[in-house]
Amino acid sequence: MPKTTAEVAKELARLSSDCSFLLTHLIRQNDEKSDLDAKSILSLILDLSGTPPKPLLKASNSGWYGTTSPNIFNPVTRNFDGTSNYKAACFTESTLAGLKAHRDVFNAKYGLAFDRDLLFAKGANPCLNVRESLLKDSFLCNGETYPRSVFNFIPQQLHPFVNIIHESFDATHEREWRVSGDLEFTPTELIFVFCPVEDFAHFASIQSVAKPVLFDLAWLDRV
């Protein structure tokens, strides 16, 4: 396929029903979190008790580097003594239909959403979904007895964005984006705050001139 211009690419994205310009962070409740637990987590993220509030979405361990302890290649020392860097704040680039699926599968009722371009300016990047056979392609360094694996050569800047794909795990359907490290933001940078209708009064303090929009994910059944 020939290259296209930025203007054509944006128009194609705008006209595509499977493309979203929102990046959404949902609080999953399929791990036995109660509604009160999820409500409390979202309240802490938004710092509702702060005067003024200083919202912060804390990073968590993510991807391939969050589940292993690899020896990381250090291009400065030329040894495998580099530090890993895999903490990130996670989002989904889902359409409304995709958010409905996330809601149903992960029992999610609470969350928040940003404009994709805004988070891109803050360093957000799509996840790099790499098949296991590429990450674990072994090789032998000169003078060494035991083989190394290719993932040791992934640059540190990319560590937070790497996802492995294998027979028992494939998250490509999540359309995941990440921001490396914690994400600081202001209430005015939010597009949506997701919560049940009965909690609108609780989260209304984050609004200014009716923004961000409070949206009940249960309404997606009517879209």
Give the H or E element holding residue 39: helix 35-46
pLDDT on residue 220: 95
Nearest CA to 36 out of 214, 196, 215, 190 is that of 196
pLDDT on residue 63: 67
pLDDT on residue 189: 97
CB 166 within 8 Å of CB 200: no
Residues 6+ apart with CB under 8 A from 55: 45, 46, 47, 184, 185, 186, 187, 190
Cα diameter, the chain? 66
pLDDT on residue 215: 97
Query: What pTM does this model have?
Result: 0.86
CB 216 within 8 Å of CB 110: no
pLDDT on residue 223: 77
For residue 108, which amino acid is it?
A
CB 132 within 8 Å of CB 100: no
Q: What is the pLDDT along the chain (223 residues), one digit of tens a residue?
A: 566 787 877 777 777 777 889 999 999 999 999 999 999 999 999 999 999 999 999 999 886 655 555 667 776 777 777 777 788 999 999 998 899 999 999 999 999 999 999 999 999 999 998 887 887 777 787 888 888 777 767 777 888 898 888 877 788 888 999 999 999 999 999 999 999 999 999 999 999 999 999 999 999 998 7
Tokens 């994910």: give the residue: 217
> CA–CA separation, 100 vs 89, rounded Å?
21
pLDDT on residue 79: 73
